[in-house]
Amino acid sequence: MKRGIDRKYIPVACTICVAALLYVAAGLSYKGFFAPQVFINFLIDNAFLGIVAMGMTFVILSGGIDLSVGSVVALTGVLTACLVEKLMWHPLAVFPVALLCGSLLGFGMGCIIHFFKSPPFIVTLAGMIFARGMANVISLESIPIYHPFFVNITSWGIPLGNGIILPSIVLMYLGAFGCALYIAHYTKFGRNVYAIGGSEQSARLMGVPVGRTKIAVYTLNGFLSALGGIVLTMYTSAGYGLAGEGLELDAIACVVIGGTLLSGGVGYLAGTFVGVLIMGIIQTFIIFKGTLSSWWTKIAIGILLFIFIVLQRALLHFSQRSRHSRGN
């Protein structure tokens, strides 16, 4: 039994090892890669992806999938920019509206998935097209934001000394990560998510409120996507309806690289966090290298995905085999 417990940490441990290896390898080959500012940049550049990937982790843990996140990011981004710049709302009033909008979309999709027993893949696919369309209806052009309050909170940060600043979007990212960790591991809801992902049938028989939890998972994911949209808007100081195209796949890739099984029930948010970090290290490495083109990022991510998926598969195979032999 003890070996079984160890085994479930192996994918996450692998993720952390790969991240450390990549970081050290990149740091040894390029001067300045170890600079703290570079590390902060990993967090800044991928804050929105990280937040979205967190929501995706919950969905995948529950055994589902959500393809709509990239579009929801674009929709909330454009909505925020439009309300602030065109309708002259105060940003503090706009944020709750954007978050509510994302949550409502997630809630709606969760309801359709639960009540009509529709496959999440198709429902969120329709949600993806819908949200992207709505974003484009609001505005086809990128809307830059000049509101003084918005600019202030965007440029605000906690100084860490040596001229290094921890900017507000990183704080939001880390804050969201902390909350998500708490929800996943220290609440009843978190346990229910794991239970449903492990086996929906068993969870129902144990008395887990399957329907409520599922809808809540998609609502939470919608909320986090909206938060990701706001962070992206702060990062780029603009809302753009074409932003975040293909983001859902990046998020799923981060989750898988982070050691979460796509069949649900197994995985950790911390793994996803490291998965996003790996994405950042690869991107920065390619920028440092200079001669490599951006498409190498995609190929590298693809190769990493492949390695991790095969690794997970092998682990599952061996654990099943050992359980089998123990049963005999």
Partner 1 sequence: MKNREEKRRHTIPSFRLLWPLAALALILIYDLLFTPHFFTIVIKDGHLFGSLIDILNRSAPLCLIAIGMTLVIATAGIDISVGSIIAISGAVAAWLIAQAHAPLIAVLCVPCAVSLSLGLVNGSLIAYLGIQPIVATLILMVAGRGIAQLITGGQIIVFENKPFEYIANGFLGGLPFTITIVAAMLALALLLSRKTALGLFIESVGCNPEASRFAGINAHRVKLLVYAFCGLCAGIAGLIVASNIKAADSNNAGYLLELDAILAVVIGGTTLSGGKFSLVGAIIGALIIQSLTTTILTQGIAVEVTRVVKSLVVVAVFLLQSENFRKAIGASFTRRAA
Site for partner 1 in 145-184 (CB under 8 A): none
Nearest-CA neighbor of 37 among 293, 284, 291? Answer: 284
Establish if 132 lies at the interface with partner 1 (CB under 8 A).
Answer: yes
Q: Which is nearer to partner 1, 165 or 296 (CB)?
A: 296
Nearer to partner 1, 157 or 211 (CB): 211
CB of 278 to partner 1, least distance (A): 14
CB atoms within 10 A of CB 211: 15
The stretch near partner 1 (CB under 8 A) out of 21-29, 44-52, 229-237, 302-310 is 302-310
How far is 177 from 46, CA to CA, in rounded Å? 13
Angle at 58 between CA 52 and CA 59, to 5 degrees: 90
Rounded distance, CA 277 to CA 285, Å?
Answer: 12
For partner 1, the binding residues in 227-286 under the rule CB under 8 A are: 241, 249, 252-253, 256, 262-263
- The packing angle between helices 69-85 and 120-138, to 10°, is 20
Binding to partner 1 by residue 79, rule CB under 8 A?
Answer: no
> Interface with partner 1 includes 309 (CB under 8 A)?
yes
The 8 Å CB, 24+ separation contacts for 25-30 are 26/281, 26/284, 26/285, 26/288, 30/285, 30/288, 30/289
Contact between 86 and partner 1 per CB under 8 A: no
CB of 271 to partner 1, least distance (A): 16
Which residues contribute to the site for partner 1 (CB under 8 A)?
65, 67, 112, 114-119, 121-123, 125-130, 132-134, 136-137, 140, 204, 209-212, 241, 249, 252-253, 256, 262-263, 293-299, 301-303, 305-306, 309-310, 313, 317
